[in-house]
Every structure is written in C-alpha cells, then in structure tokens.
Amino acid sequence: MSLVRFLASHRAEVLALLLQHLRLVGASTAAAIAIGVPVGLLAARKPRLGAPIVWLANVAQTIPSLAMFGFLLPLPFVGGLGARVAIIVLILYALLPIIRTTVAGVSGIDPVLIEAGTGLGMSSRQLLWRVQIPLALPSIVAGIRVAAVIGVGTATIAAAVGAGGLGEYIFRGLSMVDSTVVLAGAVPAALLALTLDGLLLGFERLYASGRVPRLSVTFALLLLMIAPLAATHRSTATIRVGSKNFTEQIVLGELLAQTIERDTGLAVERHLNLGGTFIADRALASGAIDVYVEYTGTADTAVFKNPVETDAGRVLERVRTQYATRGLTVLPPLGFNNTFAILVRGADARRLGLHTIDDARPYAPRWRAGFGYEFLQRADGYPGLSETYGLRFAESPRAMDLSLIYRALADRQVDLIAGDATNGLISAYDLAVLADSRHYFPPYDAVPVARSAVLLRYPAVRDALASLAGRVSAADMRRMNRAVDAEHRDSAAVAREFLAQLERNGQTKE
C-alpha cells in the first residue's frame, strides 16, 4: 500500500529512472547484438577461432558486476562515471548469451541445407545471408531475450557508478533501511524484465513459426532499442556533485549541490549513490565528479594508506597536501566529526552525571558492553580503548551487528556501545555520547574535496563551499540523519530546510 503511495507521489522521478533504465539496457543490448552476432557467426564458421572467443565471453560473465565496475572505472576512454561505464559493463554481460546462441543457431543448421546451398552455387556470403542467418535467427532472438532480461537486472547495479536507473531507489532504500523505497526500484525493474521477456518471446515465436517477416523486422527491433538513446541530451556548464551511498553522504551531497545552485547559478548534476570510498575517489580523480564530502580519517587511512594518527590538525594537513599533489583541494571542514562514539543511555548519563569516557570507568565493572565485529578487531578499536581508559566490564563485550546495536542499548540488553557519532538513532533513542577526552579515536572530520581546476575556473563554487565551513555540527547531522532514516523524509527536502535555517541564523548572528 505504501509502495503505491510512494510511486504515485514520485511519478515523474519513477518515469525518469525507468527511462534511464531502458536507455541503459537498450543501448547495451543493441551494441551487444552489433558485436555478438558477427562474432558468433565468425565463431560458428571458424571453430578454431570460435572456441577462445566463447571462452573469453564466459570469463567476462563470471566477474561479479560490482567488481567489473571497479576494474573499469580508472581506465581511460572506457572508464569514468555515469552511463558510459555502465553500458560497457552491460555490453560485456550481454555478449555471452548472444554469442552462444548465435553459434548454437548456426551450427545447429542441417548440413544437408549447407550442401544444397553450396551445390546450387551460393557464394559463402550468399550462404551466410540467405541460409545461415535466417535459419539461426530464432536462436539469436532467444539469446537477445536472455541478454535483455539479464541486462535489466544488472542495470540496477549501475546506480552505484552514477548511471541512474531504477537501481537508484534500491540503493537509496537500502541505505535508508526503507523497504518501500527498495521496492519502488525493484518492482518496476521486475515488471520491466517480465515485459521485455514477453515482448521478445513474441518475436522469437514469430521467427520460429516459419513465415518469417524477414530482416526488416529485426531492424525495427534494433531501432526500438536505440530509440530511448535519442532522448539523451547533455548540458555543458555543470558542476557534478557526488556522494557515497549511505544516508549521511546523500544528505551532504544535497547540501553541497543546493548551496552551489543557490550561490552560483550553475547547473548541478548529482551522482549521489557511488558505491563506497574507492569508487567515489576514482570518480573524483577521473573527473567524473567535481566534488564530494570525505572524512579526514578515511582519506588518511583508506585513500592514502597512512598509519593511524589521532591528532585532528595533523591528519587534516597530511591529507590536504596529499590531495593537492593529485590536483584536488580540501575545503574547510564542515564542522562535525563522524568518529566512533562511546554511547550510554541518556537516562544513565543524567542520573550518574557522565560526560566523558573517564567518568564511566567506575561503573563499567557492573556493565555489559556491545561492539561491532570490526570494532572488536581493529587496532584503533576496543583493545586500545580499554587500555587507554582502563575499562573493564562485567563480562567480555558482546559482538553485535551495527544495525542492531543502538536498539540493544535502548532495550537494556547492553549498557555501553561504540557507535557512529552522527547516527540519527542516537537522538531517536535518547542516547548520550561520552566525550573522548584523551583523544583516543582518529578524527573523521567531514571535508568537501574538490577538483582544483574546477575551483579555479569557477571561483564562486569555492566561495559557496567555503560558506558551509563550521556550520554543520554533529547534532545537526544527527538530526538530519534521523529525519531521513527514522522519519523517512526526503533527503533533498531535509537538506533544503537545514540551509534555510542556516540562513535565518546567519541573519540574526551576523
């Protein structure tokens, strides 16, 4: 029911994503036909050449799709962000079924017919066009059908590299833990797959029925697939804003995008669902996006592979210089630190007067603790924490899934947890953050990272981004995360309200 309501209220967006999805599948399937059918024909006619080709197509299909995007992103020409790399990946997946059925279709032809054609004086080209292709056509169409249906499924992954399509909803829904949004992507995708399957099955039957409407229908079929491409248009002077694929990042992406739109009047293109730090970083390096928000600690350890450093100023300086050598500029921090947070129930904190982790030490021996699997293992996780603060618990800490850990604390299953400093559930469950007064955790200050060339060309963009410096507190971020995650509000609307509120505060303060 909520799905129907969601689809109705997001009609225009659903339609746009559906069209994008069709465009991806149509373009890639058409290209795969253009490549796969000739290759299949060649493979069938020259088996010695054919075997390695089929083997290669087989291998391409065994590579997980997300890994394939990862391989291709940094490559010149084919790589980068958006529809191009997605279409290339989809082509690679569509090739195998098309090549395979083309080979099967041609080699399945009765040898008597080949002898008849040759014996009556057909040249090998005439044999190909008048006998082999028409007779292999039903089998080839079957391959196209399989390829298109696989394509609809694989194209949902394409949202991870900013190519759009119905996968946008699936990824957005997963990061919001909102099954309605996931279904809003998954259900239309499934319907699309079924429709295409039925349509192409019709074509297949038509061909197999004998009275073949000839190649003209095949070309009509191809045109049908390429048609959505014609609708593609590309604007020129745009700033491309990226983000990783979880709630906070998407909200921050909107924040940057709306600020740039408001202050500079430039058009902004959003790529707000990039599948992780690696992909976002590659996108920025290749110029597929111009700016996204990174966390200093993540840049330090994950991007530049530096040893753990806990001094916020030193980490910021280090990543600033390292980014600079790559032609990227680190803008002033937004103001919050999305670090690990040691949390207790708000009621306990108030009753016992707890403000820092040190304050909790005397009570710890009567408490149970719950930590994420990763936190229990990491050098900058529990082992160092208990040593630095001398924490001892009633029993050895419980390993828990991160998505359940806040609830477990609120429900009194445990008494102290390590969470995410800006998680929206902290305020939703009335939890309290204990300050890391000994600076044990590395800093994860949120900073916009932008392409230096773009900032030079559009100084207004630099000014717009700098205007956000120090304006987003951890409490602000928690509130926005909560609005999206717990209250299921639209991330763009949440960002818009926050910006409006900043403007009001600015007027009263300055």
Partner 1 sequence: MIEFREVSYSRPPAGRVLESLSLTISRGTLVALVGRSGSGKSTMLRLVNGLLVPTTGRVLVEGRSTREWNLLELRRGIGYVLQDVGLFPHLSVEENVALVPSLLNWRASTSLVRAHEMLQLVGLEPSVFARRSVRQLSGGQRQRVGVARALAADPSVLLMDEPFGALDPVTRAELHREFRDIQRRLRKTIVLVTHDMAEAFALADMVGVLADGRLAAMAPPRDLARSNDPRVMPLLAPLAEMTAIIGAPE
Q: Which residues bind partner 1 (CB under 8 A)?
A: 110, 112-113, 115-123, 126, 131, 134-135, 210-212
Nearer to partner 1, 116 or 475 (CB): 116
Nearer to partner 1, 135 or 182 (CB): 135
d(CA 120, CA 126): 11
Whose structure tokens read 């048609």? 227
Q: How far is the CB of 190 from partner 1 (least distance, A)?
A: 35
In 390-471, beta strands by DSSP E: 398-400, 416-420, 431-434, 446-451
Nearer to partner 1, 174 or 212 (CB): 212
Among candidates 235, 285, 290, which has minimal Cα distance to 80?
285
Nearer to partner 1, 105 or 167 (CB): 105
CB atoms within 10 A of CB 265: 8
Nearer to partner 1, 78 or 116 (CB): 116
Q: Which amino acid is at 248?
A: E
Q: Please report which helix (H) or strand (E) contains residue 253, including its range.
A: helix 247-264
Q: How far is the CB of 105 from partner 1 (least distance, A)?
A: 12
Q: How far is the CB of 118 from partner 1 (least distance, A)?
A: 6
CB atoms within 10 A of CB 68: 20
Q: How far is the CB of 27 from partner 1 (least distance, A)?
A: 30
Q: How far is the CB of 111 from partner 1 (least distance, A)?
A: 9
Nearer to partner 1, 118 or 180 (CB): 118
Nearer to partner 1, 64 or 119 (CB): 119
CA 80 to chain centre: 14
Contacts of 432 (CB under 8 A, 6+ apart): 343, 344, 345, 346, 348, 349, 350, 354
DSSP assignments along 143-204, one per residue: HHHHHHHHHHHHHGGGGGGT--STHHHHHHHHHHT-HHHHHHHHHHHHHHHHHHHHHHHHHH
Q: Are 90 and 22 in contact (CB under 8 A)?
A: no
Q: How far is the CB of 207 from partner 1 (least distance, A)?
A: 9
Q: How far is the CB of 122 from partner 1 (least distance, A)?
A: 6
